[in-house]
Amino acid sequence: MRPGGERSVEGGACDGRSELELLKLRAAECIDEAAERLGALSRAIWSQPELAYEEHHAHRVLTHFFEREPPAASWAVQPHYQLPTAFRAEWEPPEAQAPSAAPRPLHLGFLCEYDALPGIGHACGHNLIAEVGAAAALGVRGALEGLPRPPPPVKVIVLGTPAEEDGGGKIDLIEAGAFTNLDVVFMAHPSQENAAYLPDMAEHDVTVKYYGKASHSAAYPWEGLNALDAAVLAYNNLSVFRQQMKPTWRVHVEIKSGAHDYYNVLPNKSLWKAYMENGRKLGIEFISEDTMLNGPSGN
Ligand SMILES: [Zn+2]
């Protein structure tokens, strides 16, 4: 429904509050009513962290949550939607489910993430993203149910999107068509600040391989070319370069390999990988260029 429309909220008093405010209040009441179930959902995911694409416990907790939301079967749940640990749950007002000449409903999406990191678990709180996504969907549903009939043409869709920390589950889902026909999609991420808009980061990865020359590191080291030294110097150059980077730039570098199986052989191969992030894609290209100039050229 458009803010400022003519509908009134069932039972809503005309006490000077706008219709939109009353709808927000109704949504908040519905979330408060479900607070215990939502909190349990979040704690269950947080206490058993799982890595990307392996979120079987979190997936089970979330799909059961929507399957059991009263009244029974009010959410149509597709438990392994496009990916084994993704899901899709849909709700629309019961009257809207009968085929009719009604206009196509607005497809309103909410996302739940639920993967964690190795060793540090839910470090940035994807369990809370799952809880907030579910809560928002329940709130909108409650607000819509409070409107007089016929219901507005809105379909609420919750997408469970695995593998955010690694692998890019949303990319898989986009390519599989999961976002096709969604008119608007919301997601919330925990943060130290309250913000309606969280600037996202464009990301670009670069992998650099060095090939040196193996030699006996005790008998004839001067015959070799040490590929590990090349990777270490590139890493150090990038670390020094960070001082000149803009506040929005992020460059994270890892030396992925550089050791030979035998200690007495000079490493003849090494590999490092840089993860570059910026608020804008244009900046990414600039970072990549500068990083490349300051990294490998330092050797
Ligand atoms: Zn996160």
Are residues 206 and 114 part of one domain?
A: no
Is 278:284 a contact under the CB 8 Å cutoff? yes
**187 Cα–ligand 1 center, Å:** 11
Are residues 282 and 167 part of one domain?
A: no
Size of the chain in residues: 299
Instruction: Convert the pLDDT of each residue in 194-228 to its tens digit.
Output: 888 777 777 888 899 999 999 999 999 999 999 99
Q: Which residues have CB less than 5 Å away from ligand 1 (the ion)?
A: 124
Are residues 166 and 23 part of one domain?
A: yes
**190 Cα–ligand 1 center, Å:** 8
Residue 154 belongs to a domain: yes
Residues contacting 179, CB < 8 A, separation 6+: 109, 159, 173, 185
**191 Cα–ligand 1 center, Å:** 9
- DSSP summary character for residue 198: -
Are residues 44 and 149 part of one domain?
A: yes
Residue 192 belongs to a domain: no
Are residues 214 and 182 part of one domain?
A: no
From CA 150, how far away is CA 167, in angstroms rounded? 43
**124 Cα–ligand 1 center, Å:** 5
Residue 193 belongs to a domain: no
Is 151:198 a contact under the CB 8 Å cutoff? no
Q: Please state the domain count of the chain.
A: 2
Residue 194 belongs to a domain: no
Name the burial class of residue 233, with classes exposed (0-12), middle (13-18) and buried (19+) by CB atoms within 10 angstroms of its CB. middle
78 versus 262: the higher-pLDDT residue is 78
Are residues 238 and 113 part of one domain?
A: no
**79 Cα–ligand 1 center, Å:** 23
Instruction: Report the CATH number at residue 278.
Output: 3.30.70.360
Are residues 86 and 180 part of one domain?
A: yes
- Domain hosting residue 153, numbered range: 14-186
Are residues 259 and 166 part of one domain?
A: no
**126 Cα–ligand 1 center, Å:** 6
Helix-helix angle 126-145:35-46, to 10 degrees: 160
Name the burial class of residue 113, with classes exposed (0-12), middle (13-18) and buried (19+) by CB atoms within 10 angstroms of its CB. buried
Residue 181 belongs to a domain: yes
Is 229:296 a contact under the CB 8 Å cutoff? no
- Show the tokens assigned to 82: 């496009």
Q: What is the pTM of this model?
A: 0.75
**283 Cα–ligand 1 center, Å:** 22
**223 Cα–ligand 1 center, Å:** 48
**117 Cα–ligand 1 center, Å:** 10
**264 Cα–ligand 1 center, Å:** 43
Domain boundary among 136, 153, 186: 186
**pLDDT the model gives residue 77:** 98
Comparing CA positions, the residue from 256, 281, 284 lying closest to residue 270 is 256
Are residues 250 and 157 part of one domain?
A: no
- DSSP summary character for residue 21: H
Instruction: Report the CATH number at residue 125.
Output: 3.40.630.10
**164 Cα–ligand 1 center, Å:** 7
- DSSP summary character for residue 152: P
From CA 60, how far away is CA 240, in angstroms rounded? 46
Residue 228 belongs to a domain: yes
Give backbone dihedrals phi and psi of 34, rounded to 5 degrees, phi first. Answer: -100, 10
Residue 29 belongs to a domain: yes
Query: Which band of pLDDT confidence, cut at 50, 70 and 90, is reported for residue 281?
Result: low
SS3 79: coil
**222 Cα–ligand 1 center, Å:** 47
Residue 172 belongs to a domain: yes
Are residues 218 and 168 part of one domain?
A: no
Are residues 123 and 27 part of one domain?
A: yes
**125 Cα–ligand 1 center, Å:** 6
Q: What's the Cα-to-Cα distance from 189 to each of 50, 111, 128, 177, rounded to whole Å?
A: 18, 10, 8, 24
4 versus 272: the higher-pLDDT residue is 272
Mean pLDDT of 118-136: 97
Query: Which band of pLDDT confidence, cut at 50, 70 and 90, is reported for residue 98?
Result: low
Query: Which band of pLDDT confidence, cut at 50, 70 and 90, is reported for residue 151?
Result: confident
Are residues 232 and 100 part of one domain?
A: no
Concatenating the DSSP letter of every residue in 118-130 gives TTTBSTT-HHHHH
Domain boundary among 186, 221, 251: 186
